[in-house]
Structure 1
């Protein structure tokens, strides 16, 4: 799971967008240059399957979908934050 998520260059970007309260796929695609709908959907699907994100579908027309970080996802992102700090320390040396 970790290899799949960390190996996907867009997963970390998606987490940053969610942290900025950008939780709708259309907003995400518009916010990041180079991110396509197809790649985003694959990334979001993988994260939902791993239990990092949850998909919320609203019964509206047009349909509205949002993504939120699960409690497991919060723990996982804490680990990613620690890795980021470690990487920064390595780069300083």
Structure 2
């Protein structure tokens, strides 16, 4: 059941897929993510990142610098999970096309 809850939680978060796309495009710092996406707030982003960290989809690296620097990256498990989400999107598109 944990996997079903994970898919529901992550897929249900409208910003998770956006965050994955940002990471693919090399945008891995929270401030840069917020600036890159209209409508994305720091609070919502932090909640989204927290959920992805809990499930092991993303990893967080904090650098001991001043000012502090934090970066996020997709884990190997996360890459597999994102591939599955991509396949779900394709299936959904096929179902939508079949209904037309």
Q: Shorter chain as normaliser: what TM range?
A: over 0.9
Which SS does the other structure have where 1:68 is aligned?
strand
Q: Which ranges in structure 1 are unaligned for 5 or more consecutive residues?
A: none
Q: 1:17 aligns with which of 5, 15, 22?
A: 22
- The RMSD of aligned alpha carbons is 0.8
Query: Which of residues 54, 78, 90 in structure 2 aligns to 1:85?
Result: 90
Q: Give the TM-score normalised by structure 2.
A: 0.89
Aligned to 1:72: 77
Aligned-pair CA distance for 1:92: 2.0
When the two structures are superposed, what TM-score results if normalisation uses the length of structure 1? 0.96
| Cα deviation 1:54-91 (Å, max 9, x = unaligned) | 00000100000000000110110110110111122122
Structure 1 residue runs of 4 or more that deviate by more than 2 Å after TM superposition: none
CA distance in 2, matches of 1:88, 1:2: 18
Q: How many residue pairs end up in the alignment?
A: 93
Gaps of 5+ in 2: 1-5
